Amino acid sequence: MTLAESDIESLERATLQAVAPEQVHELPGWLLPMDSGTVGRAKSAVPWTREAADPAAADRIAQAYRANGFQPVLRVPDLPAFDALRSHLLALGFTHDQPTLTQVGRIDKVIAALSHLGTEGVALDERPDAAWMAMFLGEGFDPVDGASRAASLARAQGTRFVSLRMGLGGGQTLACAAASFGHGWLGLHGLRTEARQRGRGLAGKVLLAMALEARARGVKRMYLQVHESSTSALALYRRVGLETVWSYHYWRP
């Protein structure tokens, strides 16, 4: 899928809406979210254009973060337009990590690929309940980072907390995610499946329910960010027609 400049800006603004930073400042071509939590997207400067970046922007961004009491972090796409900026960051002593893929897709394709699974047991709630939190903060996830991410998502406007529950009386929560709706996009965040239940299509049921809600709202596109090493998640996203539009790294002093 080819994105226009306006699509890129709306996607990056939708991303920040979903992670609800404590502050958001702007410089020409850049959004500067600032936050004291652990969510990288909530506290890293990101360009909303794919035009060639001015290397001197790194100095202005660093100054703005430090003036507000935050460490400067930049989320820089791995694209030729940012080659000079990355070289400048290296010269300033910055290092980069967390290779992450930004993927997008069409809601109709997601629904077509997953409709056979159905959405039995899936609920979309305005607030995260205790069972959703237990699943989100479950075994295998850093509890401090998870709590920070959950608090960030709970602050956001336009987010629904998706739970797949099975069994009598609501049963056990076996999978969860957060679905953000904003700026014309559905955003997928924090998709989790209980370890012993993986491979049963539960994540697909959660994703289908989110896509159906998006279609009901007139939203036609979705996005997500996923670490490039998440092979099982990437296999699911590939099956539903999502494709990588760019990758990025976090750059820190």
Q: What is the pLDDT of residues 97-154, one digit of tens each?
A: 999 999 999 999 999 999 999 999 999 999 988 888 888 887 666 777 777 777 787 7
Report the distance separating Cα 111 and Cα 184, nearest Å.
Answer: 17
Structural domain ending residue among the three candidates 100, 123, 157: 100
What per-residue confidence (pLDDT) applies to 170?
61
Q: Are residues 50 and 19 in the same domain?
A: yes
Range of the domain at 76: 5-100
Give the tens place of pLDDT for each residue, 31-52: 999 999 989 999 999 999 999 9
Report the distance separating Cα 185 and Cα 224, nearest Å.
Answer: 10
Report the distance separating Cα 192 and Cα 205, nearest Å.
Answer: 12
Count structural domains, the chain.
2
Q: Are residues 226 and 172 in the same domain?
A: yes
Q: Are residues 112 and 96 in the same domain?
A: no
Read off the pTM.
0.91
Secondary structure E strands in 126-213: 159-166, 172-182, 185-193
Length in residues, the chain: 253
Report the distance separating Cα 200 and Cα 169, nearest Å.
Answer: 22
- Rg of the chain over CA atoms, in angstroms? 18
Q: Kindly state the percentage of the chain with pLDDT values over 90.
A: 76
End-to-end CA distance of the chain: 34
Average per-residue pLDDT for the chain: 92
pLDDT at 94 over 70: yes
Give the tens place of pLDDT for each residue, 175-194: 999 999 999 999 999 898 88
CB atoms within 10 A of CB 233: 18
Q: Are residues 181 and 151 in the same domain?
A: yes
Please name the amino acid found at residue 62. Answer: A
Q: Are residues 131 and 93 in the same domain?
A: no
